[in-house]
Amino acid sequence: MGSLSTPRPGFASTLLPFLLLLQALAGSTSAVVISLRRRHDSAPQRRRPGFGGADQAVCDLFTGSWVKDESYPLYQALSCPVIDPQFNCQLYGRPDADYLRYRWKPAACELPRFDGVDFLTRMRGKTVMFVGDSLGRNQWQSLICMLGAAAPQGQTQFIRGDPLSTYKFLDYGVSISFYRAPYLVDIDVVQGRRVLMLNNISGNANAWTGVDVLSFNSGHWWTHKGDLQGWDYMGDGGSYYLDMDRLLAFQKGMSTWANWVDINIDWSKTKVFFQSISPTHYNPAEWNNPVSKNCFGEMAPVSGSNYSGPYPDQMPVLRGVIKAMRNPAYLIDITTLSELRKDCHPSIYSGELSPEQRANPDRSADCSHWCLPGLPDTWNQLLYTALFF
């Protein structure tokens, strides 16, 4: 497999002499992964039993459609100082606003409306932490904005850091944190080389202990290659690889995360959630638009409940890992409902773009992240429902 089998303590002293050998073998490096069919029902969802009342059938919160609601958005971008320029679409010139006025409607029930004061009161003295990549950061900032709009006169404290940032609502003793860990598992730097350790998570996980609510996400960074790839080598059980099948690597990394949760989480004190894969909208053929090149110019959701594009390959892997846990995390399945929101991306309305980039949306549009206010507010409404109802 083009691997180097060496005990980890000797890795630093033996890796570099073999770099040329590994590069020569890269063409033959491969890994075998069991074929996984693309389908929504590859594993059952974990739903909160009894939502809607003891006499009402359990509601599938994640199947439904988007309906216009003029009472949205739940906050204004100008009133929330924590929004990154990357997500602040209104500030950076997005001309339309109808995308802000949609509410998620499950097919068989109504979601409880988000109540920020209720959230803060129930969570008094507790901590919430989002762990993952920039989609987790997107959701973290959304929740801060939603809570801040509900308690606008409250005392707050914002501590920016890397990998950990924390926003505190001091009147309630509530901390809302984000810990950046795109792969969840650790990346070790050895003699300038970044090694993605598929079997090791302790370096990151030390920061997650003692938290009352943990919400994890991962997925996008596992597919990146070239300049966007976040590692130089993969480490797996004492062997090291230039690459392997990315679904297999994802399965190994998520299994390491799941094992850590099973061993270290006290479920009487901590609630654990996993946010499913957030979709992108770079291919307009997926929503049957023959004119567009990507999400640029999209101003309304896909109608109905079904999306014609492919379901993410990572989802069956993620469902299988969670199903195998001794105490399965609650999967907040935002994938399909987010696929319908082709209109909610920053596109070219981001503070990170130059005038030249804005003039070329075919190449520059961000169709991965989400505007704030926007779709991540619904993700937090689902988290609120899963926590308290």
Q: What is the pLDDT of residue 42?
A: 36
Q: What pairs with residue 128 in β-bridges?
A: 176, 213
| Higher-scoring residue by pLDDT: 40, 101 | 101
Per-residue pLDDT reduced to its tens digit, 108-146:
999 999 999 999 999 999 999 999 999 999 999 999 999
Pairing of strands 64-68, 102-106: antiparallel
The overall average pLDDT reported for the chain is 88
pLDDT tens figures, 319-368:
999 999 999 999 999 999 999 999 999 999 999 899 999 999 999 999 99
- Tokens 């989802």 appear where? 315
- Band of the pLDDT at 58, cuts 50, 70, 90? confident
Q: How confident is the model at residue 57 (pLDDT cuts 50, 70, 90)?
A: low
Estimate to the nearest angstrom the gap between the alpha carbon of 92 and the chain centroid: 24
- 96: which residues sit within 8 A by CB, 6+ positions away? 299
Q: Of 18-32, 268-282, 287-301, 341-355, which gets the smallest average pLDDT?
A: 18-32
Query: Nearest-CA neighbor of 372 among 131, 133, 96, 82?
Result: 82
Q: What are the residue numbers of the active site?
A: 134, 366, 369
Per-residue pLDDT of 170-204, as tens digits, reads 999 999 999 999 999 999 998 889 999 999 999 99
Task: Give per-residue pLDDT as tens, 215-255.
Answer: 999 999 999 999 999 999 999 998 999 999 999 999 999 99
Domains and CATH numbers, the chain: 66-388 (3.40.50.1110)
